[in-house]
């Protein structure tokens, strides 16, 4: 018995791991170049010659997002054959890549409808790039949870995945509108998107925390909704109802916990007026921590 066999690594499993890893590397490489092709620029030029940090942050979000999605595509179970493993990994990976790009497009056109995100990133706007990268990662977290929830490789499976994805994008837009409304109340109807356009990094970091928290809490729905590939309406309603409940619970908990953890700190003055990135980062950490705790409790 060899060392690898002793730990359960057979030749068949090693080949499957090699197939999955190769496909993952190809897709990650493609995502890097897709970032440039999407906005019609040379990614190498933007990253290494122009030293466009905003473009780098945006690209990092896309690559990290695809990596997260690919962990949902890899089930850890061997397929019936090497060909079926390659087809399955490629199909889920490419579908995940498409959904990430679609999610970013919807986020640009609907959630960030007041600004030209791509133009601002190419101009080096760090705050917009942070929100863009986080939106990609949040979308990827949601896609991963849906991939793990779904089973088999059929048309019904992809319809079920897309249905949950569509609900998640609706919830991200709703979250953005709620945060914008809250920001406007504190600033005489000023626009949060305008603040991002002006390079308000602290606001971008805090908003990113809310997006990540919503994505993580969305993951909890997969533990309660039974996968029924042909029950299209039931799937959509299940994800929608549970997502609304989790968003409300998350919003209430975050408001309470931030008052306790950041007691005696004027968050409006520190984050929104003084651009305190440190406190904004603490807010992000609180948002993610509460979402992770909620998700663990639900599991």
Tell me: the pLDDT tens digits for 31-72? Answer: 888 877 877 788 888 888 888 899 999 989 988 988 888 887
More confident residue, 235 or 250: 250
Q: Are 246 and 172 in contact (CB under 8 A)?
A: no
Following DSSP, what letter does each residue of 188-257 receive, concatenated? Answer: TT--HHHHHHTT-HHHHHHHHHHHHHHHHHHGGGGGTS---TT-HHHHHHHHHHHHHHHHHHHHHHHHHH
Mean pLDDT along residues 236-265: 88
- Grade residue 80 by pLDDT with cuts at 50, 70 and 90: low
Q: Are 267 and 255 in contact (CB under 8 A)?
A: no
**Angle at alpha carbon of residue 123, lines to 53 and 29, rounded to 5°:** 50
Q: Is the pLDDT assigned to residue 81 strictly greater than 80?
A: no
- The pLDDT assigned to 96 comes to 80
- Number of helical (H) and strand (E) elements in the chain, helices listed first: 13, 0
- Grade residue 166 by pLDDT with cuts at 50, 70 and 90: confident
Q: Are 266 and 194 in contact (CB under 8 A)?
A: no
Helix (H) or strand (E) holding 138: helix 126-149
Q: Are 246 and 282 in contact (CB under 8 A)?
A: no
Mean pLDDT along residues 133-145: 89
Provide the token pair at 123: 């101009």
Domain boundaries, the chain: 3-298
Q: Is the pLDDT assigned to residue 134 strictly greater than 90?
A: yes
**Alpha carbon distance 280, 215 (integer Å):** 19
- The pLDDT assigned to 286 comes to 94
Mean pLDDT along residues 140-153: 79
**Alpha carbon distance 24, 110 (integer Å):** 30
- The pLDDT assigned to 153 comes to 65
Helix (H) or strand (E) holding 159: helix 155-186
Percent of the chain with pLDDT over 90: 26
Closest CA to 31 of 70, 1, 2, 77: 70
**Angle at alpha carbon of residue 20, lines to 229 and 105, rounded to 5°:** 60
Q: Is the pLDDT assigned to residue 1 strictly greater than 50?
A: no
CA distances from 13 to 6, 77, 88, 276 (A): 13, 9, 16, 50
Mean pLDDT of the chain, nearest integer: 84
């Amino acid at each position: 018995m060899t060392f690898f066999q002793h730990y359960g690594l057979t030749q068949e499993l090693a080949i499957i791991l090699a197939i999955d890893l190769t496909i993952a590397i190809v897709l990650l490489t493609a995502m890097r170049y897709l970032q440039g092709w999407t906005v019609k620029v040379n990614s190498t030029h933007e990253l290494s010659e122009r030293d466009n940090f905003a473009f780098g942050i945006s690209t990092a979000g896309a690559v990290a997002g695809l990596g997260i999605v690919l962990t949902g595509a890899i089930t850890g179970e061997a397929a019936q054959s090497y060909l079926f493993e390659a087809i399955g990994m490629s199909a889920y990976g490419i579908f995940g890549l498409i959904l990430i790009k679609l999610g970013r497009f919807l986020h640009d056109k609907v959630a960030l409808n007041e600004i030209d995100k791509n133009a601002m990133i190419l101009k080096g706007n760090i705050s917009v790039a942070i929100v863009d990268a986080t939106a990609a990662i949040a979308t990827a977290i949601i896609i991963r949870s849906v991939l793990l929830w779904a089973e088999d490789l059929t048309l019904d499976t992809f319809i079920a995945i897309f249905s949950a994805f569509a609900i998640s994008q609706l919830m991200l837009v709703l979250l953005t509108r709620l945060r914008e409304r809250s920001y406007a109340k504190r600033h005489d109807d000023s626009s949060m998107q305008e603040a991002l356009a002006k390079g308000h990094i602290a606001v971008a970091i805090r908003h990113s925390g809310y997006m990540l928290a919503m994505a993580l809490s969305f993951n909890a729905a997969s533990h309660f909704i039974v996968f029924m590939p042909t029950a299209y309406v039931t799937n959509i309603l299940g994800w929608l109802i549970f997502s609304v409940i989790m968003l409300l619970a998350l919003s209430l908990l975050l408001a309470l916990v931030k008052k306790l953890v950041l007691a005696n700190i004027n968050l409006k003055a520190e984050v929104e007026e003084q651009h305190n990135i440190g406190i904004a980062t603490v807010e992000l950490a609180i948002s993610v921590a509460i979402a992770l705790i909620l998700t663990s409790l639900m599991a």
